[in-house]
Structure 1
Amino acid sequence: MSAIIFILQLILAVIMLPLHILSFLGMWDLVVKRAFPLLFSKFLISYNKVMEEHKRNLFRNLSDFAGSSKELRLLEIGCGTGANFKFFPKECRVTCLDINPNCKQLLGKSLAESDHLKFDGFLVESAENMKSVADASMDVVVCTLLVCSVPNTLAVLKEAKRILRQGGAFFFIEHVASTDESSWISFFQKVLNPTWQLFFDGCSLQKATWKDLDDAKFSELNIRHIMAPTSWRLIKPHIIGYAIK
């Protein structure tokens, strides 16, 4: 089976060779960085509709993690279009962070519809090195559909733990590699992953993020594996939950 996967990956690599060359030269990445936020925002419209119940159930206890001031301080990394804003509790103080500055322009509609929140700004930084965010300065970190495109997932989790106060929580929803390696989803995830990463800004179909969460050694980990009700079969395997520092 591994030989078949390798041959199919090789065939796709040959077909996509011009794009791989442009990527190597850094030219394709410039195109993707501009186009991906727009394409991702279109995808999120349908994704958020089918995932709304899952998100509502996940985020319903956010207020439980407010600190002594009773004002929830929340950092959303990889904020995208701000689709999660409506699930955040009233008077929550929200800071948004994304490595792609082009994402900021997509937040306009969600910001206008979120007068129940207080916004503390937009940071352009990597989730692997959030140097502008102080230690123990947040009650909650929210991360949805982000670590699939981050090379070092453990670095993201280490940073999340650093900026969370003791007892704060890291909330996540991520698509992951299929745990059933005999399935067709797993097979096509492996075959298509190099090409998928080329078109989707480094997004990987083969992330075993649940293992990274275990390795991050949070004091408590609440996690569920689900098959998301999205029509995109390759990203149906998901993990959802929260971890407490």
Structure 2
Amino acid sequence: MAVIIFLLQFLAAIILLPLHILYYLGLWDPIIKNYFPHFLSKFTETYNNVMEGEKRKLFRNMSDFSGPSKGLRLLELGCGTGANFKFYPSGCKVTCLDINPNFQSFLSKSQAENDHLIYERFLVASADNMTPVADGSMDVVVCTLLACSVPDTPAVLKEVKRVLRPGGAFYFIEHVAHVDESSWISFFQKVLNPSWKLLFDGCSIRKTTWKDLENAKFSEVNLRHITAPLNMKLIRPHIIGYAVK
């Protein structure tokens, strides 16, 4: 089976050879960084349509984690186009963080459409190195469809715990590897993952993010595995929930 997977991976790489050449020449990254926000603005619209019920259910207790300061202080990692803004409680103070500065213009549109929130700042930084964010300064951290594209998920979770106040919460929705390694979905995830990463700005369809969350030593982890009703079967396996520092 491993040989078959390798051969199919090689075939996919041959089909995408021009992109691989651009990548190794250092020319692909600026192209994908400019293209990806446009793709994501369309994708998240579809994603919100099918996942709205799950998102509303997940975020409905967010106000319970308001700290002693006035208003809920929220940090969104990989904020993208601001697809989650409409689900946040009124008066929430939002700090947006993304490694791709090209998302900022898309955020402006989402911010204008969601004036029930207070937008504090947009930070261009990596989720595994959030030095501009002070220790214990956030009541809530949100991360949706980001862990797939970060190289070191445990480092991100370490940073999340650092910036959260004691008793604060980390909310997550992530597509992950299929738990059944013998399934057809798992097979095609293994075959297509190298090419998928190239096409979707580092996104991996083989992440076992639930294991990282279980090992991160939060005081409480509420996590469910679900099958998202998406047309792209390779990213249907999801985890959803929140963890408390």
The TM-score bracket by the shorter chain reads: over 0.9
Match of 2:95 in 1: 95
After TM superposition, give the deviation of residue 18 of structure 1 in Å. 2.3
After TM superposition, give the deviation of residue 143 of structure 1 in Å. 0.2
After TM superposition, give the deviation of residue 70 of structure 1 in Å. 4.3
Question: 2:105 and 2:140 mapped to 1: Cα distance?
Answer: 24
Question: 1:153 and 1:23 mapped to 2: Cα distance?
Answer: 23
* 1:109-168 deviation digits (Å, cap 9, x = unpaired): 211121111110100000010010000000000000001000000111000000000000
Q: Does 1:172 align with 2:172?
A: yes
* 1:2-52 deviation digits (Å, cap 9, x = unpaired): 111111001112222221121012101110000011011111111110000
CA RMSD of the aligned region, Å? 0.8
Match of 2:31 in 1: 31
Question: 1:219 and 1:75 mapped to 2: Cα distance?
Answer: 20
After TM superposition, give the deviation of residue 69 of structure 1 in Å. 2.2
Which ranges in structure 1 are unaligned for 5 or more consecutive residues? none
Question: 1:155 and 1:203 mapped to 2: Cα distance?
Answer: 17
Partner-residue secondary structure (3-state), 2:198? helix
After TM superposition, give the deviation of residue 77 of structure 1 in Å. 0.6
Matched AA of 1:137:
S
- Indicate the percent of aligned positions where both proteins have the same amino acid: 69
Match of 1:125 in 2: 125
Q: Does 1:209 align with 2:206?
A: no
Question: 1:209 and 1:219 mapped to 2: Cα distance?
Answer: 17
Matched AA of 2:196:
W
Matched AA of 2:149:
S
Match of 2:221 in 1: 221
Superposed, 1:1-245 pairs within 5 Å as: 1-245=1-245
Question: 1:25 and 1:205 mapped to 2: Cα distance?
Answer: 25
Question: 2:70 and 2:182 mapped to 1: Cα distance?
Answer: 48
* 1:73-126 deviation digits (Å, cap 9, x = unpaired): 000011111111111111110000000000111112211121111110100000
* 1:160-180 deviation digits (Å, cap 9, x = unpaired): 000000000000000000001
Write out the 4+ residue segments of structure 1 that deviate beyond 3 Å after TM superposition: none
Question: 2:18 and 2:93 mapped to 1: Cα distance?
Answer: 45
Matched AA of 1:115:
D
After TM superposition, give the deviation of residue 188 of structure 1 in Å. 0.6
Question: 1:56 and 1:65 mapped to 2: Cα distance?
Answer: 16
Which ranges in structure 2 are unaligned for 5 or more consecutive residues? none
Question: 2:236 and 2:15 mapped to 1: Cα distance?
Answer: 26
Partner-residue secondary structure (3-state), 1:75? strand
Question: 2:163 and 2:205 mapped to 1: Cα distance?
Answer: 28
What TM-score do the two structures reach when normalised by structure 1?
Answer: 0.98
What TM-score do the two structures reach when normalised by structure 2?
Answer: 0.98
